[in-house]
Amino acid sequence: MAYTRMTAAEAAALINNNDNIAMSGFTPAGVAKAVTRELAKKAEAEHAAGREFKVGIFTGASTGQSTDGVLANAQAIKYRAPYTTNPDFRKRVNMGEIPYNDLHLSHMAQELRYGFYGEIDWAILEVCDIEECGNEYHVYLTAAGGISPTAARLAKHVILELNSFHNPNAKFIHDVYEPLDPPYRKAIPIEKVGDRIGVPYVVIPKDKLVGVVECNIPDEARAFKDSDPITEKIGFLTAEFLVSELAKGRIPKEFLPLQSGVGSTANAILGALGQDKQVPDFNIYTEVIQNSVIDMMITGRVKDASACSLTVSNDCLMQVYDNMDYFKDHLTLRQSEISNSPEIIRRLGVIAINTAIECDLYGNANSTHISGVKMMNGIGGSGDFERNAYLSIFTCPSTAKGGLISSIVPFVSHQDHSEHDVNIIVTEQGVADLRGKCPEERAKLIIEQCVHPDYKQLLWDYMKIAKGGHTRHNLPAAFAMHDSLARKGDMRLTDFAEYVK
């Protein structure tokens, strides 16, 4: 083909200080990895020579070490949105070094198109195949849908990483669809989990394609901790709750598509649901597919799955590529604004299950900040799903750090999801079904059902000093537990009397 081949270093050399880069991928899956590694080296060289060098990075979600990690360490990021999970990046964000804008993932592509973040200089996309088609290239994405078509359309220039680690078979699971913007947007015509509404490729006008970097780099999807007795108990209780809702007719007999967050709790919940024979074979409509979903697709327990990314181990990814005759009919990867679309999530009646860092007595949830200040990862898709779900479920272990921290507190130290968006809280202690409950009833239920025994009395004590209103609080003491953790190292040592005025 007529395109220019170049090395990753040659591509990186073209990128200037202050440029904005939009990238393929969603989670470390499907992120371009070659050019950014070289870009970090260029940044270090520029800094060593006394010159400024920073770029803005926009992606579908988080990335891996080869993007957020190396660029953060090279102090080469002037701006980052919408999500990250990288430890090196996190450290530097919490040092105040990187302006990080933690966004709902469904907002990223459309807000780039709306022009809220300025011009996009570069799109860097990881692809598994390239076809020439008149004045365009049709390029095929790898393990994620992300914001790639928007990145390609908005960017002044495009660099492709043709990564032979991925199999060109990946093209059979992509449904590439970019909505028009208001006032011309149409209904997104997905009415079943498996509906395909777009094309399998991203279009790149020939005059935008600067070069193709051929490479072979494994995906950097994370390995998740195995489940432990706590997460298994949460999984069991969540599954038991859903089964009882099914029995009561409050979940339709066909069941509903599931979204579950990323990590070992999500795996434990899926595992428990999978084993419960009262739950019919079900579908997944989510943002991230983990190994456990692929395993359950192979057995037929999960029928159809739709997501933005295949965030699986590399051997699991190869298993998908090698069994494309099966997966092409059951697995669809979409753009993040489609996988996380409020429109589709509410229409399909997705049951959303995400983990919280902490919840408060009234059902508000914190998904992002440790002690109100330290960014963990970001809100990700949790708001997209929970806000629009048929049932909004948050899970967390009742304690953290061996009991020093209660995950249920009087007042969340940062709030990402309001009481209006949270139906159910599950800890390993039990399930609090908050639907139809006023604040007073919610507080009682959460203490009784979800709080660890070590903290029950403390939270009843808070309710004793909390003054009403519709919602009861004692504001000067609302963060006493957080402050005790900070000053005494243990929330159990909280003395509310120190705070009450």
Catalytic residue numbers read 287
Nearest C-alpha neighbor of 37 from the set 79, 9, 17, 18: 9
343's tokens: 């429109």
Enumerate the β-bridge partners of residue 185.
none
Residues whose CB is less than 8 angstroms from the CB of residue 315 and which lie 6 or more positions away in sequence, other chains included: none
Q: 425's torsion region: left (phi>0), alpha (psi -120 to 50) or beta? A: beta
What's the one-letter identity of residue 168? P
Nearest C-alpha neighbor of 263 from the set 226, 210, 318: 226
Choose between 90 and 157: whose C-beta lies nearer to its own copies: 90
Residues 118 to 177 in contact with its own copies, rule: CB under 8 A: 118
CB of 185 to its own copies, least distance (A): 5
Dihedral pair phi/psi, residue 168, rounded to 5°: -55, -15
Helix (H, G, I), strand (E, B) or coil at 420: helix
Q: How many CA atoms lie within 13 A of 255 on its CB side?
A: 24
263's tokens: 């990590």
Residues 230 to 249 in contact with its own copies, rule: CB under 8 A: 248-249
CB of 11 to its own copies, least distance (A): 26
Distance between CA atoms of 213 and 231, rounded to whole angstroms?
Answer: 42
Choose between 268 and 412: whose C-beta lies nearer to its own copies: 412
- How far is the CA of 493 from the CAs of 410, 419, 446, 490, in angstroms? 15, 28, 21, 6
What's the one-letter identity of residue 428? E
Choose between 263 and 342: whose C-beta lies nearer to its own copies: 342
* CB 151 within 8 Å of CB 177: no
- One residue of 18, 114, 164, 493 binding its own copies per CB under 8 A: 114
- One residue of 133, 199, 438, 497 binding its own copies per CB under 8 A: 438
Q: Is residue 473 within the footprint of its own copies (CB under 8 A)?
A: yes
What's the one-letter identity of residue 167? N
CB of 204 to its own copies, least distance (A): 24
Task: Count residues near its own copies (CB under 8 A).
Answer: 88
- One residue of 482, 491, 494, 496 binding its own copies per CB under 8 A: 482
- How far is the CA of 423 from the CAs of 49, 153, 353, 447, in angstroms? 55, 39, 10, 16
Distance between CA atoms of 416 and 356, rounded to whole angstroms?
Answer: 9
* CB 447 within 8 Å of CB 405: no
Of 23-31, 308-316, 318-326, 475-483, the segment contacting its own copies by CB under 8 A is 475-483
CB of 63 to its own copies, least distance (A): 18
Choose between 7 and 94: whose C-beta lies nearer to its own copies: 94
* CB 333 within 8 Å of CB 342: no
Choose between 58 and 140: whose C-beta lies nearer to its own copies: 58
Nearest 5 degrees, angle CA 288-CA 289-CA 293? 150
Choose between 114 and 326: whose C-beta lies nearer to its own copies: 114
Residues 66 to 105 in contact with its own copies, rule: CB under 8 A: 79, 81, 93-96, 99-104
- One residue of 116, 119, 216, 448 binding its own copies per CB under 8 A: 116
- What is the bridge-based pairing of β-strands 430-433 and 424-427? antiparallel
CB of 150 to its own copies, least distance (A): 16
Residues 343 to 402 in contact with its own copies, rule: CB under 8 A: 343, 346-349, 364, 369, 371-375, 379, 383, 387-388, 390
Residues whose CB is less than 8 angstroms from the CB of residue 326 and which lie 6 or more positions away in sequence, other chains included: 297, 298
- One residue of 252, 280, 300, 489 binding its own copies per CB under 8 A: 252
Distance between CA atoms of 86 and 66, rounded to whole angstroms?
Answer: 10
Residues 204 to 223 in contact with its own copies, rule: CB under 8 A: none
Distance between CA atoms of 12 and 136, rounded to whole angstroms?
Answer: 23
Nearest 5 degrees, angle CA 322-CA 326-CA 332? 95
Of 69-77, 204-212, 227-235, 337-345, the segment contacting its own copies by CB under 8 A is 337-345
- One residue of 26, 53, 117, 140 binding its own copies per CB under 8 A: 117
- One residue of 168, 263, 342, 403 binding its own copies per CB under 8 A: 342
Q: Is residue 413 within the footprint of its own copies (CB under 8 A)?
A: yes
Choose between 68 and 102: whose C-beta lies nearer to its own copies: 102
CB of 483 to its own copies, least distance (A): 5
Of 30-38, 125-133, 299-307, 437-445, the segment contacting its own copies by CB under 8 A is 437-445
Q: Is residue 225 within the footprint of its own copies (CB under 8 A)?
A: no
Helix (H) or strand (E) holding 152: helix 148-154
Choose between 169 and 259: whose C-beta lies nearer to its own copies: 259
CB of 366 to its own copies, least distance (A): 10
Per-residue mark of binding to its own copies, 167-206 (x: CB under 8 A): --------------xxx-xxxxx-x---------------
Q: Is residue 224 within the footprint of its own copies (CB under 8 A)?
A: no
CB of 436 to its own copies, least distance (A): 5
